[in-house]
Structures are given as structure tokens and as C-alpha cells.
Structure 1
Amino acid sequence: MSFYRWQGKDLVIACHLQPRASKDEFAGLHGDSLKIRIKAPPVEGKANVYLMKFLAKCFGVSRRNIEIIGGELSREKRIRIIAPATLPEALGIETGE
């Protein structure tokens, strides 16, 4: 199983979040999820906000185009990226067209 799927023009990714990392990065796969390391602490929703900003920058969209659709209080999350403008080459995501 892949860590992503397309829903029309929207991209849904399963991710495993590692907060309090030394740097922000995509770190390969963690089971069937994309492992994402971020510097923000997992306190009072700061990690979720930081994650959405990081993904918005990586996929070339505004933060309002990033939605956490599952696992808001968990390290295992499902994220919807509404009409991504760019696809990070390192992830190997194929276009949904």
C-alpha cells in the first residue's frame, strides 16, 4: 500500500509525525505512512499548526489548503492537500491525472 492517494485533484497522505526533531524533513516510510520530522513540540496543537505550514510550503499551497482529516491528537495522521501546486520530487508521488 502507498502512503498517498488522489481524491480528484486533492492529495491525501498518511503520515507518521515525529515532533521535536532537529530539523524539518521527510524521512522515508514508517510502515504504510510517510514519516515527517518537524521541530515543533507536541504541545497545545503547535505541532499540527507547524506541520500544516511545513506541508503548505512543500506542496506550494496556502495553509488553508491543508486539512488534518484524521488523527489530530495522534502521531499517525491523514492529511488532505487541496490541489497541490507542486509535488516534492523526493517523495516520488505520481500525478493523479
Structure 2
Amino acid sequence: MNTPCFFRKDDNGVTLFVRLTPKSSRDAIEGLETTDDGRAYIKARVRAVPEDGKANAALEKLLAKWLELAPRDVTIASGATSRLKQIRISGDPEALAVKLFALAPPEQS
């Protein structure tokens, strides 16, 4: 059985699907999660509170560091007020896909 993909490639980069937990005890990427509806997300935690965009900014910074990218290459595309977010990552989509699979390999079944 194939694990659903946690990102989508396009001509100018990828859109990453993230489930964010704000007000955590630490900033961390915790691997992959598949929801009951079959969608896959990267699980992320940030210490920042979800007020005035602070948690979103912390998530962008965390993902940029995790992917070794410039912060300007990582932006919230949708879900600014939701736990489930789509993050736009600019760059070579093939190189980003390789990096994402290396950092968060899909579960084998």
C-alpha cells in the first residue's frame, strides 16, 4: 500500500502539508502523520503562541532551518488560522523532493 505524499511539486517548488501544534515545550519536526481521511502531514511543534502570526512565523523559521533554506523561501500558503497548513517552499522541486524524502521518509507497509 502506498503512503500518501505529504507534499505536492510544481514548476517553482513544492507545497508542504503540515500539522502544527503551537504553545509546545519545544520547536521540533516530529515526522509524518496520516489522518483518518488518508492525508499525510509533517508534524511540527513550536513554542510560539498562535497570536498575531507568531506561531506561523516560528513554523516558517523552523522549516527553513530543517530544510537548510533561506527563510524567504518558506511561506504560509494557506491555513494561517488552522492547525493544518500548506507551506510554499520555493526552489528546484526535484531537489526539494529528494531532501524531504530523506528528512521524513514515508512509512513502509
Structure 2 unaligned residues grouped into runs of 5+: none
Which residue of structure 1 lines up, in the alignment, with residue 55 of structure 2? 47
Please, what TM-score do these two structures have when normalized by structure 1? 0.81
Which residue of structure 1 lines up, in the alignment, with residue 88 of structure 2? 80
Q: CA RMSD in A?
A: 2.0
Retained in 1: the 8 A contact 2:32–2:104?
Answer: no
* Larger Cα-atom Rg: 2
1:9 deviates by 4.8
TM alignment of 1:1-97, pairs within 5 A: 1-30=4-33, 31=35, 32-83=40-91, 87=99, 89-92=102-105
- Deviation by residue 1:62-84 (Cα, 9 ceiling, x = unmatched): 11111211101111100011117
Please, what TM-score do these two structures have when normalized by structure 2? 0.73
Between the aligned residues of both structures, percent identity stands at 33
Structure 1 unaligned residues grouped into runs of 5+: none
Count of paired positions: 93
Bigger helix fraction = 2
Q: Distance in 2 between matches of 1:36 and 1:80?
A: 15
